[in-house]
Chain A
Amino acid sequence: MKIPFTYNVRSVLGRPVSTALTALGIALVVAVFIGMLALANGFAAALTRTGSPKNVLVLRRGADSEMSSGLERDVVSILSGSPHVARGADGRPLASPELYVIIPLGRMGDTTQLANVVVRGVSDAAWGVRANVHVTEGRRPASGRNEVCVGNRLVGRFPGTGIGETMRFAGRPWAVTCHFAAGGSAFESEIWGENEQILPAMRRDGFQSLSFRLADPAAFDEAKRAIEADKRMQVDVYRESAFYAKQSELLGRILRILAIMITAIMAVGAVFGAVNTMYAAVASRAPEIAVLLTLGFKPRSILASFLAESALIAGVGGVLGCLLALPMNGIVTSTTNWASFSEIAFSFRITPMLLLAGLIFAVVMGTVGGFFPARRASKVPVVQAIR
C-alpha cells in the first residue's frame, strides 16, 4: 500500500530550515543550468534565424565565411541570370551581390574601446531577398547616396547610430536614414548600405557573396549542382539557413560543453547536499518509520515514500531555480562570432522546453540524492527503532 504523500509534505514542513537550504542549493544549480543553456540557445537562435531556407548563399570555393570569400563582377552577373533565381514583382532577379567587411567602431561611453562591426553592402534586391529584414523606423538608404540603415541591436550601443545622425567609417560620413529589425538574428548587429557606395569607399572592386531567393524552394539540390558545375566560376553553394547555423556551431558547442560541465559539477555538490539532508531525515525519523512498518506498510512503500520526499524537495528547488532564471530571458549580451571576427548581440532565450528540462534535472538530482537514504529507511530494523 502506498504511504499518503501528505505524510512527506508534512515531514518536509516540519524541518523548514534544512529543507529550504537544500532546495535553495538545487535552485541555484537549476538557475545556472537554465541560464547557460539560454545563452547558448540565444546565440544559436540569432545565427540560425539569420538565414532563410528559401535562400541560397554563394561563396568563392573554399571560403569558410563571407569575409574570406570573393566574387568578381562577371561571376555575379552569371549567377544573377541563372534560371534558379526567383524574380521580383518588377521582373528583376531577387539576388543581392554583397560586400561584407568589418570595421572598428568605438563603443558608446568609451570610444577607445573598439568593437568590430559588420558593414554589409547590399543591392536594392536584398530587402526582398531577406524576408526577415524590415525597416522599423525611417526610410531605406537612397541609391547613389552615402546613407546607411543600422541594425536594431547596434542602436544605442555605438555613437551616431540614431536616425538623422552621421557615422564615420571608411574615410567618409554616412547618414543614418533608418533602423531595421530582423527577428533577433545576427543581421540586427550589422550596418547595411548600398553595395555600390560601400564598395568604392572600401576600395574594393569585387563582391564577396551573393544571396538569392530560389525560384523553386524545393529545387535547392538542383540549383547547387547546376551552379557548382558551371565551368565559368569556382564557387560553393549553400542553403542560407544551413550556412548561418554552421557559423554558430563552434561557439554554440563551446557554450553547451561549458554549461554541461559546470552544471554537472555543481549538481554533484547539490546531490551530496540532498544525500546529507535525507540521511539526517531518515535517522531522526527511525521510530516513525518503524511504526509505519509495524502498521503493515511494505519496505517498498517506505522506499518510494522517501524517494518522493527527496524529489519533492528537489522539485521545489527546481521551481525556485526556474523563477530565479526567468528574469534573464531577453537580456541582451554580446560576444564575438569567431567565424567572422565580428561582434554579435543576442539575447538570452529561455524556452518552455528549457524550463521543463531544468525541472526534470532538479527532480533527477533529488531522486539520485534520495536513493540511498530511502533504501536505508526501508531497512530500518523495527524492534530496535521502536525501543
Chain B
Amino acid sequence: MKFFTLLRANLGRHKRRTILTMASVALALFLFASLRTVVTTLKAASQFGSARRLVSTNATGIVFPLPIAYANRLATIPGVEKITWANWFGGQYGDGKRFFANFAVDAKSYLDLYPEMQVPADQKAAFLADRAGALIGARLVDLFGWKVGQNVTLRGTIFPGDWTFTVRGVYTPTDKAINDDAMMFHFEYLDEKTGRNGLAGWYIMQIDQPDNAPRIAKTVDDMFRNSSAPTRTGTEQAFNASFATMWGNVSLLMNTIGMAVVFAILLVTANAMMMSARERTRELAVLKTIGFTDRRLFGLVMLEAGIITVTGAVIGLGAAKLLYRATNFNAAGFLPGFDVTTATLLLGGGIALVLMLASGIVPAARAARLPVVAALRNVE
C-alpha cells in the first residue's frame, strides 16, 4: 500500500501513546467480551432443554416432593414415551465451599432420557450394577481429584449424616449447557438409607412430539389437580429458564457496565487521536501543500485511528476467546459452557469500528479542513 510508510511513521512517532491506546482498547474489548459472555451464557442456559422433554414439579413449590406412584400414571398418558425421576440431595463435600449439584436419580431411565450425557459403556454398566455407586461430571475429576473406583463421602444437609458413594463412572456432556460438575446416584440408595419411601422430587418425561407438549402438560396437571400433591408441568426449557431468571437483572447490569467500559475507552482513544492530530498540524499543512487532497488526509487520519482500534480489538477479543477456552472457565459452576460466541466477537469488531469513527472523526475533519496558510504561519 502506497501510504503504508507514512502511516507507520505516524503511528511510530509516539510509540508509547500508540501502544497505550491500543492496550486500552484491548482491555475494554476484553472486558466487553467477558461481560457479554455472561449474558449469552445465561441466555443459552435458559434456552437449553430438549423440546421433547417435560418436567413436572410439585405446584406448591420445588421443595415439595411428589408421590412416586405418579410414575405409573404419567407413563400411561398418550404421547409420553419415557419417564424418569430425580430428587435433590444437596450434599456437601469437604469444607462445602465449592457448591456442586448432586441428586438421586432412577439411574437406568435417567441415562436413557439424557443421551447428552456420555458415559463409557463399561463405566455405565458398573454404575448401574452398584447400588452405592455414583456418576460424576468430568469437571469434578479435575476439581476434587476423584477417580473411578474411589469412595467419596458427602455430608448431607437435607438428609443428615455422612453418605459414602463409590465413583463408578464419569460423564461428559455433549451439550455445553449441561453442567459438567454434577453428581448422580441411585434413588434406591437414598430411600434405603433414609427409610423414606415413595417420594420423588421431580419427574422428567420424554414425549413423542414437541407440538404435543402443551397438551400433555395440561393432561398431567389436570390429572393431579385435586390430589394432595398437584403438579406444575412445563417443558424442560421453561424449567431451566425459571432458574436463569432467578439471577435477576444480571443482563442489565452487565450491559450497563459494558457500555460504561466502551464509553470510557472511547474517551481515551478520542483524546489520543486529537492529541496526535494537534501536534501534527504543521505536517498536515505541508502534506496539503505538496498536493494531498482534503479527502485523502481525512482518510489517512481515519485509517490511523482504525489501525489503533482494530488492532486493540483483535488483541482484546482474541485474548478473551482463548483465555476462557484454555482455562475451561465456568465461574465455579454457575455458568456452564462459558465461551465467547462468534456473535459477541462480531459485535466487538463492530464496536472497534464505531470507536474508530467516533475517535477519528473530529481530528480527521479538522485535518481535512485545515487552512494551509494559517497552519503554517501559526506554528513557530
Contact = CB atoms under 8 A, between A and B. Distances in A.
B260 A269 contact: no
Contact of B268 (A25, A39, A116): A25
A335 B247 contact: yes
A170 B60 CA distance: 5
A305 B279 CA distance: 24
Nearest to A259: B257
Residue among B156, B158, B232, B331 with the highest chain A CB neighbour number at 10 A: B158
Given A60-B160, A171-B230, A265 B246 contact: no
Residue among A116, A202, A275, A280 with the highest chain B CB neighbour number at 10 A: A280
Interface stretch (A5-13, A79-87, A101-109, A290-298): A101-109
A142 interface: no
Given A22-B271, A29-B264, A276 B60 contact: no
A341 B99 CA distance: 13
Interface in B241-258: 242, 245-250, 253, 257
B24 interface: yes
B264 A101 contact: no
B363 to A, nearest CB: 11
B125 interface: no
Contact of A202 (B60, B160, B232): B60
| Interface bracket on B | 35 or more
A111 interface: no
B272 A276 contact: yes
B54 interface: no
Nearest to A17: B274
Contacts of A67: 63
A238 interface: no
Contacts of A266: 27-28, 31, 260-261, 264
A60 B249 CA distance: 34
Interface of B: 14, 16-17, 20-21, 23-24, 27-28, 30-31, 35, 59-64, 90, 92, 96, 99, 155-158, 160-161, 228-230, 232, 242, 245-250, 253, 257, 260-261, 263-265, 267-268, 270-272, 274-275, 279, 331, 334
Complex A-B, nearest 6 residue pairs according to Cβ-Cβ distance, in ascending order: A273-B268, A335-B248, A336-B246, A28-B264, A269-B24, A272-B20
Given A104-B62, A113-B245, A269-B24, 4 more contacts: A63-B160, A102-B62, A104-B59, A268-B23
25 contacts: A18-B275, A22-B267, A24-B264, A32-B257, A68-B157, A102-B62, A202-B64, A234-B160, A262-B257, A265-B27, A265-B30, A266-B264, A269-B265, A272-B21, A273-B268, A273-B271, A273-B272, A275-B16, A276-B272, A279-B17, A280-B279, A333-B248, A335-B250, A336-B247, A341-B62
